[in-house]
């Protein structure tokens, strides 16, 4: 069975209309989750907790989409 990992993270943005963090050292890693449903629950909890700060945003990153072990590596990955 394929595992579909999701990362929930967030922090304060410079401008609420853009996705640029004010300070990348202050990014909060909420956690890694084994499925979208549990990642969504964690995201929603953090978003609701920080609702009073319009500059705070949390995101769900689909880690499972970054690399598929069945596909051959690209030539740039081989440069390492």
Domain count of the chain?
1
Q: Residue 20: which domain range?
A: 6-72
Taking residues 7-36, report their average pLDDT. 95
Give the domain CATH number at 65. Answer: 3.30.70.2400
DSSP string, 22-65: S-GGG-EEEEEESSHHHHHHHHHHHHHHTTT-TTEEEEEEEGGG
Other beta carbons within 10 Å of 23 = 9
Taking residues 42-65, report their average pLDDT. 93
Q: What pLDDT sits at residue 64?
A: 81
Taking residues 53-73, report their average pLDDT. 81
Q: What pLDDT sits at residue 75?
A: 52
């Amino acid at each position: 069975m394929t595992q579909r990992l999701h990362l929930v993270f967030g922090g304060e943005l410079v401008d609420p209309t853009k996705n640029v963090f004010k300070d990348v050292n202050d990014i909060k890693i909420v956690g890694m989750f084994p499925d979208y449903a549990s990642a969504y629950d964690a995201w929603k909890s953090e978003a609701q907790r920080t609702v009073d700060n319009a500059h705070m945003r949390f995101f769900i990153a689909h880690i499972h989409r970054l690399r598929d072990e069945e596909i051959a590596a690209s030539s740039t990955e081989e440069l390492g």
